[in-house]
Amino acid sequence: MNKDFEFLKNKFPGAYREIALEHKAVNTVITFCDNKNQYLLFTGMFSEVNGGKGISGELEAYFVNFLADKYKATAFARASAYALEDQTTFIGIDIKSIDKDLWSQQNNFNVDDESKVTSVDKKYMNSSNKNVICPAVNAYFEKITLPEDTQLFINNLYEQVKPSLQIVKLK
């Protein structure tokens, strides 16, 4: 298995749990590694791009594949909040490598009356190495030939997002 995939599988869920507790919120994060660095992108700022329309699931897949090529990424992770019909809330974390390794897990969390996160379970409730939680992750690392106008759009989107990309050196 890819070492960046293993790093994300072993470190990202705990780090993301701490972020959710610190900010008392579960914000969608896309993170990836390139053998030297971990890059974090909080997608909450996406509503400010694309003319205020944000990024749809299909556009997210295009953008992630653009980032994979640009940074020579070998593994991606995506974390986001979900709610079940019975109102159980969980953080869904999907991790995928360039070699098609998969890991998905669910960590339940609780909120107070103001919808602020009060706790996040350290242990995951469900996991899978075959199925993702977010369908967009299935398209990560897929070679997609984009029309020229779409490629220009993705390049422009990257320039808008680039200042918000956080970089952490891997140890």
- Domains in the chain: how many in total? 1
Query: CB neighbours of 56 closer than 8 A, spacing ≥ 6?
Result: none
Pair 45, 136: CB distance under 8 Å: no
Q: How far is the C-alpha of 77 from the C-alpha of 96, rounded, in Å?
A: 6
- For 12, the domain range is 3-169
Helix (H) or strand (E) holding 3: helix 3-23
Tokens standing for residue 131? 């199925």
Helix or strand or coil: residue 29? strand
Pair 99, 4: CB distance under 8 Å: no
pLDDT in tens, the chain (171 residues): 689 999 999 999 999 999 999 999 888 899 999 989 999 988 766 666 666 666 666 788 888 999 999 999 999 999 999 988 888 899 999 999 999 999 999 999 999 999 999 999 999 988 999 999 999 899 999 888 888 988 998 998 899 889 889 999 987
Other CB atoms within a 10 A radius of the CB of residue 67 amount to 22
* pTM of the shown model: 0.90
**Residue 127 to residues 48, 131, 145, Cα–Cα distance (Å):** 33, 9, 32
